[in-house]
Amino acid sequence: MKIERLTLREIGMRLKAPFETSFGVTQVRRILLVEATCDGVSGWGEITALESPSFNSETTDTAWHVVSDFISSAILGQDIPHAADLPLLLAGIRGHKMAKAGVEGALWDAEARLNGVPLWEMLGGTRQEIACGVSLGIRENPQSLVERVAAELSSGYQRIKLKIKPGKDIDFVAAVRKEFPNILLSVDANSAYMLEDAAHLQRLDSFDLLMIEQPLAWDDIFSHSLLQPQLRTALCLDECINHGRDAETAIQLKACRIINIKLGRVGGHSGARQVHDLCLNNSVPVWCGGMLESGIGRAHNLAMSTLPGFSLPGDVSASSRYWDEDIIEPEVEVSPRGTISAPAGPGIGYSVKRDLVERLTVRSKTWAHSA
Ligand code: OSB
Ligand code: MG
């Protein structure tokens, strides 16, 4: 498949409500979309970097720079057998996994469309529908969090994840657990604690949580391996896992018992499959994380979540929880049972609303191979 044309664009999308994590509040997303044309067919990908380097070291602007100044020239006019071969072309560019993942996503969509098959099937997906959970931002007080949880449960979501940080943790989790004794409940600290907080984190053991996600530093697997034996609750790593080797390290060190896979963080579908396969072989459950994506990123997350190792509900939820109007048709919808069906159409299985994308576009650049 020949990579003939690449368009990079930045769109601005306003979240329905601000989303607060331990590292800050997000209200307006600056999202980069990638459209790649291969053998005359175009595919779409999303770059999931945030606006600031607060989750990992990438940002919307670093990804713009890396795609514009390095990735575009490395791939334009290249003929590769499969989208999965992209990492080889980009081996000379270190890091910048989210930038690479957005481009790889566009190639996977294009390849699946060229073959006339759904992306999820091409990836080796085995489930027709995926189990969905929600990630709830930090709230002002426990009572408003409990109300939010009640609303999500009544929509059918199968697992509730609460964002926590020091000072906004025990009371919030206790209130939710008291009101809902039997739900699947987890917490995500986004690296807000230190190993010295182990005794404090042990207090979470009494709430029968499914997992505690990424309590310690974003780049420190070793400290998690010292914390895990001090807790009854399973740890889950998010920020720490950037490729198969990190997953291997975490599993060998027993730094966690569950791994969250984010397409952007691990560099795209091929990196995600490596982490997935390794976890499956080691009986470590995985689930799909989210980065407040538009419908394009959401559709890629859905496709990935159909792989057999995704045995826990992920953070992939309905478009309407985030956006007044999403950029895909139909929007991502969740059944009353808290599931999303894998689409039957080719590629990501959703069509991109080009008019809306155009209206939301802040800047764009196109590279075409002439020959
Ligand atoms: O750590 O999972 C995270 C959002 C932005 C950055 C990091 C994270 C999150 C979420 C939201 O938890 C997941 C989503 O609903 O997209
Ligand atoms: Mg997380």
Residue-wise pLDDT tens digits, 207-217: 999 999 999 99
pLDDT at position 312: 98
Active site residue 163: yes
**Catalytic residue (choose from 100, 161, 163, 168):** 163
Output the pTM of the full model: 0.98
Q: What is the mean pLDDT of the chain?
A: 98
pLDDT at position 73: 97
The answer, yes or no, to whether residue 370 has pLDDT greater than 90, is: no
The b/e string for 216-247 (b: 16+ C-beta within 10 A; e otherwise) is: bbbebbebbbebbeebebbbbbbbbbbbbebb
* Alpha carbon distance 128, 131 (integer Å): 10
pLDDT in tens, 221-235: 999 999 999 999 999
Atom number, ligand 1, closest to the C-alpha of residue 290: 16
pLDDT at position 69: 98
- Give the three-state DSSP class for 153: helix
Give the model's confidence band at 68: pLDDT under 50 very low, under 70 low, under 90 confident, else very high: very high
pLDDT in tens, 249-289: 999 999 999 999 999 999 999 999 999 999 999 999 999 99
pLDDT in tens, 57-67: 999 999 999 99
Please give the average per-residue pLDDT across 183-210, as a whole number: 98
Regarding the beta carbon of 315 and ligand 1, being less than 6 Å apart is answered: yes
Regarding the beta carbon of 135 and ligand 1, being less than 6 Å apart is answered: yes
The answer, yes or no, to whether residue 75 has pLDDT greater than 80, is: yes
Q: Is 92 exposed, middle or buried (0-12, 13-18, 19+ CB in 10 A)?
A: exposed
The answer, yes or no, to whether residue 346 has pLDDT greater than 80, is: yes
pLDDT at position 307: 98
Please give the average per-residue pLDDT across 180-204, as a whole number: 98
The answer, yes or no, to whether residue 172 has pLDDT greater than 80, is: yes
Mutation to probe ligand 1, out of 30, 315, 323 (largest number of atoms < 8 A from CB): 315
Atom number, ligand 1, closest to the C-alpha of residue 213: 1
306: tokens are 């159909």
13: tokens are 């999308």
The answer, yes or no, to whether residue 371 has pLDDT greater than 80, is: no
Active site residue 97: no
Supply the Cα-derived Rg of the chain in whole angstroms: 20
pLDDT at position 338: 98
